[in-house]
Amino acid sequence: MKNYDLIIVGAGPIGLACGISAAKAGLNYCILEKGVLVNSLYNFPENMTFFSTSNLLEIGDVPFVAHNDKPTRKEALEYYRRVYESWKLNVKLYTPVQSMTKNTEGYVIDTPKEQFSTKAVIVSTGFYDTARKLNIPGEDLPKVKHFYDSPHPYVNQKVLVIGAANSACDVALETFYKGAEVTMAIRGNEIYPKTKYWIKPNIENRIKEGSIKAYFETSVKEIKPHSVILDTPDGAIEIENDFVLAMIGYTPDYSLFEKLGLPIDEENAKKPIHNSETLETPLKNVFVAGVINSGMKTSKLFIENTRVHADMIINHLKKELTQLA
């Protein structure tokens, strides 16, 4: 079993930032990632453009140069790979964390490959890997997708897009432009007001002209192999359908929190309980970093405003570990 000062769970941008801060502080650290490097970003749609500018996504003093003001997913993957290589970060990929138990030195982290002993832990797992569920009949059909990659599979297909925020509008437009017959099911009475400024007027105009059919104040009642039933203000209707793209958002991985023993504030957006100044949880020397700190309010925190979490945690942790030495 290998011994570390710090184990970081999650090799997303903030997990990498924590690794960089740990390296600067001279801590013996390891980053554990269940999938690929920056796994959440890898699962973004292949043609996605960030809302943030490239300089707001920078970490570790490595310049992020993009072709345009708003970088693409492809550029972000290349950038964070360069960060990883520039800092020679100690990352173990395809190493999911299964459990965490306390011992005299701190904690033991179990993975399918090996065990790790550590004095401290940072959990920085993001939320994009865990999709919100519709919890309706037919959601488990193969034609239902909670993650979107490319418009190609939907050429000449009847597609239902569920949602009205950035992802849903982006997907509706892209599949429409590639030849899909697109319908949207929108729970509210309008497109989400904070949708990206270059997307919102486009989707509203496509709906207005009838190119994309939108049902407002509507929920999906049931998904069938070749149709869907919508609950509209005028009653239930059934429409033909080939694919359902449920772009209704994502959540932190609460099953992982449970495995780690991290307490959750059920009455406050299911946020992991933590000290706002040190980001330490009620578990001694166990911290939470990045967007998971907002719980279910996933539109509150982003890469750009959580980059500071790395130094906040490491500065506090270094003092704690010095006292233990």
pLDDT band at residue 143 under the 50/70/90 scheme = very high
pLDDT on residue 127: 83
**What's the mean pLDDT in 316-320?**
89
H or E stretch including 15?
helix 13-24
pLDDT on residue 92: 98
Q: Superfamily for 2-130+250-324? A: FAD/NAD(P)-binding domain (3.50.50.60)
Greater model confidence, 302 or 180: 180
Coil, strand, or helix at residue 261?
Answer: coil
For residue 325, pLDDT over 60 is answered with no
Spell out the domain ranges in the chain.
2-130+250-324, 133-246
The dihedrals phi and psi of 140, each to the nearest 5 degrees, come to -85, 5
pLDDT band at residue 324 under the 50/70/90 scheme = low
pLDDT band at residue 45 under the 50/70/90 scheme = confident
Percent of the chain with pLDDT over 90: 82
Distance CA 98, CA 87 (A): 27
pLDDT in tens, 236-293: 999 999 999 999 988 899 999 999 999 999 999 999 999 999 999 999 999 999 999 9
Distance CA 162, CA 292 (A): 24
Distance CA 310, CA 289 (A): 7
In angstroms, the Cα distances linking 173 to 58, 167, 219, 242, 255 are 29, 10, 20, 17, 34
Q: Superfamily for 133-246? A: FAD/NAD(P)-binding domain (3.50.50.60)
